[in-house]
Amino acid sequence: MPPSTPLREAHPAERAAGIDHYVSDADGIGGRLRESPEDFRVRELEAFEPEPLGADPGSYPELVVRVTLRDWDTNDFARRISDALQISRERVSWAGTKDKRAVTTQLFTLREVDPDDLPEIRGAEIEPLGRAGRGLSFGDLAGNAFEIRVAETVPEAPERVADAVSDLRAFGGDGGKATVSGPDGIDAAAVGVPNYFGQQRFGSRRPVTHRVGLAVVREDFREAVRLYAGNPAETEPDDTRAARDRVDAAFDTDGDWEACLDAIPGKLRFERSMVHRLAERGVAPDAPPDGEDWRHALEAVPSNLQRLFVNAAQSFLFNRIVSERLRRGLPFDRPVAGDVVCFADGDAPDELYAPDTDRLQRVDEDRVSVVTRHCERGRAFVTAPLVGTETELGDGEPGEIEREILAAAGVEPGDFALPGEFDSSGTRRAILLRSDLDVTFDDGDPRFAFALPSGSYATVLLREFTKSGPLDL
């Protein structure tokens, strides 16, 4: 059944990433994020228990430290501390990469490092916690707690925030109204939004990674290279656009890859690496699109970026499926016949509504009411696919949506059986992102406090309040 009122349309850049609408019809508060690093605070919710600091370093060679960073990119800090300790960068590990323009608190492990050797680094507070037998990995991150101030909002921000919270409570299954309790804050309970992949997944200024990934899934490696190395965006600097125009010309006409290398600035190092491989092999621009030469050029980028191309394609298709479910008015907080649900992660921190997508169950007509009760109690979540070779699509109307979106993109699960790092078996992801939201006001500007499971995006929640474009978030 379609929604009773038309949905507010998303920003054009969001629609290019598969995000078609807002849930809340409340007017936006506008404003800006990250006026200072202190306006964007992130604290990891840790799922990693170290041994005491006095544990035997032979059995527990990893020093576990909690680090609070101000205005530091995670990768840059890892290089800085490894240089200060005079150790390989490979001996520094962490669970989640954080944004630079922020104050972030997270764990690192430092292999074969003594607490007394920890350096002093500007903008970093380093606290030794204990020892561990292995380094941190992404699976050790349960989620993140956020405290985010939106600066320079409209004077009507308190009322607009309250209206949006009421809409999001209803969408998440709570149904209560938010009430403005004066200038100090808003009383709110659990809110819900579609669990979209945020714009960062696709590139905020040049959203192209999912398009590259879709070309890979179709085994059109020629188009994948062209989209990444050519294909200029209006938001790029003049020299970058000119270089990409030259690459497009080589694809369209002359195949002069050496001229492209002369045009591509050094800052586009991955693009240069791709085109260099084309020049080395003298690849003709009309060579078969699924040919090994084009794939060889695409594989000039690091393996994690190769995986990201396909992951972004999966994320885009997920966003499109979720948007179509929203357009049709199907519920997000409870199942309909044909849905696939997952159950809650019993080991997650108390702050989180955390799904465990390793525990899945199909919902037939006879079980809708039983599974609905589980969803109401936060014990189960409706899912949609991140499509891969092992994906089994839903039934009923949810399955119809999934098949229509895949057909429109010209892909099917078996297409993800790909060479090298591009291969993916797929998984499923909860379609509803729920959180307990607290809002206070700081000189008239709202400060949002909430926690999200790993892999979910704070901007997906904040966009419902700001109604701004992705570059403003």
Query: Tokens representing 262?
Result: 């002369």
Cβ(412)–Cβ(402) under 8 Å?
no
Query: Which residues are tagged catalytic?
Result: 99
Beta strands at 355-362 and 340-344: parallel, antiparallel or unpaired: antiparallel
CATH code of the domain occupying 1-27+165-212+311-437: 3.30.2350.20
Confidence label for 222 from pLDDT (cuts 50, 70 and 90):
very high
Residue spans per domain, the chain? 1-27+165-212+311-437, 38-144, 221-289
Per-residue confidence (pLDDT) for residue 35, from 0 to 100? 87
Strand partners, 96: none
Amino acid identity of residue 214, one-letter, is L
Per-residue confidence (pLDDT) for residue 2, from 0 to 100? 47
For residue 268, give the nearest of 236, 295, 315 by alpha carbon.
Answer: 236
Query: Tokens representing 65?
Result: 């430290």
- Taking only the tens place, the pLDDT of each residue in 168-191 is 999 998 766 666 555 566 765 689
Cβ(138)–Cβ(78) under 8 Å?
no
- For residue 102, pLDDT over 70 is answered with yes
Per-residue confidence (pLDDT) for residue 184, from 0 to 100? 61
Q: How many helices (H) and strands (E) does the chain have?
A: 13, 16
Residue 24 CB partners (closer than 8 Å, separation 6+): 8, 163, 164, 167, 168, 171, 464, 465
- Taking only the tens place, the pLDDT of each residue in 108-118 is 999 999 999 99
Amino acid identity of residue 307, one-letter, is R
Per-residue confidence (pLDDT) for residue 176, from 0 to 100? 62
- Per-residue pLDDT, averaged over 202-220, amounts to 93
- Per-residue pLDDT, averaged over 57-65, amounts to 97
Query: Tokens representing 250?
Result: 């080589």
Beta strands at 103-111 and 40-46: parallel, antiparallel or unpaired: parallel
CA diameter of the chain: 69
- For residue 283, pLDDT over 70 is answered with yes
- For residue 4, pLDDT over 60 is answered with no
DSSP state, 57?
T
Per-residue confidence (pLDDT) for residue 174, from 0 to 100? 79
- Taking only the tens place, the pLDDT of each residue in 13-27 is 899 999 999 999 999
- Taking only the tens place, the pLDDT of each residue in 395-404 is 999 999 999 9
User: Cα dihedral sign for 19, 25, 29, 30?
Assistant: positive
- Per-residue pLDDT, averaged over 342-361, amounts to 87
Q: What is the distance between the alpha carbons of residues 428 and 392, in angstroms, rounded to a whole number?
A: 10
HEC readout, 204-250: CCCCCHHHHHHHHHCCCHHHHHHHHHCCCCCCCCHHHHHHHHHHHHH
- What's this model's pTM, rounded to 2 decimal places? 0.92
- For residue 145, pLDDT over 80 is answered with yes
Coil, strand or helix at 159 = helix
CATH code of the domain occupying 38-144: 3.30.70.3160
Per the prediction, the chain carries an average pLDDT of: 93
Query: Tokens representing 267?
Result: 């800052």
Per-residue confidence (pLDDT) for residue 394, from 0 to 100? 97
Beta strands at 190-194 and 124-132: parallel, antiparallel or unpaired: unpaired
- Per-residue pLDDT, averaged over 351-372, amounts to 92
Per-residue confidence (pLDDT) for residue 346, from 0 to 100? 83
Per-residue confidence (pLDDT) for residue 139, from 0 to 100? 83
Q: Concatenated DSSP letters for 260-297? A: HHHHS-TT-HHHHHHHHHHHHHT--TTS-TT-HHHHHH
Q: Using CA atoms in the order 430, 433, 434, 439, what is the torsion angle rounded to 10 degrees?
A: 170
Query: Tokens representing 245?
Result: 């125009």
Confidence label for 349 from pLDDT (cuts 50, 70 and 90):
confident
- Per-residue pLDDT, averaged over 434-461, amounts to 92
Query: Can you say how many angstroms the Cα of residue 214 is from the centroid of all Cα atoms in its chain?
Result: 17
Residue 442 or 153, more confident: 153
Coil, strand or helix at 351 = coil
- Per-residue pLDDT, averaged over 125-147, amounts to 94
Percent of the chain with pLDDT over 70: 96
- Per-residue pLDDT, averaged over 232-241, amounts to 94
Half-sphere exposure of 115 (CA within 13 A, CB side): 14
- For residue 3, pLDDT over 60 is answered with no
